[in-house]
Amino acid sequence: VILAVLAAAVLSAQALVLGRALLGSMAPDPMVVLATALALAWPARRLLLAAVFLGWVRALVLVEPAGGQVLCAWAALFSVAAFRSSLRRGGRRGFLFAGVLLAAVWWLTALAVSWAAGVHVSAGRELLLGLLLAVPCAGLLMRISRPEGGAR
């Protein structure tokens, strides 16, 4: 599962690279969909590992220090996980709301880290645009993102 998540992170990061080449700053970041699904599905003890994978891979394609993106992913994943049970009850809308929450926390953390460390940490509209990719299949994604091993 861990390798599958890493592979998915790499593919979504490459999709962002390709998207940036084709669409410029309007390119969506599909990683937000993956991160939302992981935040809803994985037990809290594994979310740190997920944050490291997602932040590290995203930082590599954005050519930034990995520390900033890992901190953003960490804060975003744990924020969504904190409201997991109520978000899951919302079904399709719950998944999309979880995505918005994740994107907002990621963006705010990036602002805070950029301000505190004086290093540019990229996060912006591509996260919300990425969430648009999940709109047609949000219900399915929510069903797939059932908690592993009864994680709450």
Site track for other proteins across 9-48, x = CB under 8 A: -xx-xx-xxx-xxx-x--x--------------------x
| CA separation for the pair 37, 144 (Å, rounded) | 8
| CA separation for the pair 29, 23 (Å, rounded) | 12
| Element at 30 (helix H, strand E) | none
Q: Give the binding range for other proteins (CB under 8 A) out of 33-41, 54-62, 102-110, 140-148.
A: 54-62
| CA separation for the pair 66, 57 (Å, rounded) | 8
> Measured from the CB atom, is 61 or 105 closer to other proteins?
61
Main-chain phi, psi angles of 119, to 5 degrees:
-120, 135
* Both structure tokens of 94: 């719950």
Query: Does residue number 74 form part of the binding site for other proteins (CB under 8 A)?
Result: yes
The contact set with other proteins (CB under 8 A) reads 6, 10-11, 13-14, 16-18, 20-22, 24, 27, 48, 51-52, 56-57, 59-63, 65-68, 70-71, 74, 113, 117, 119, 122
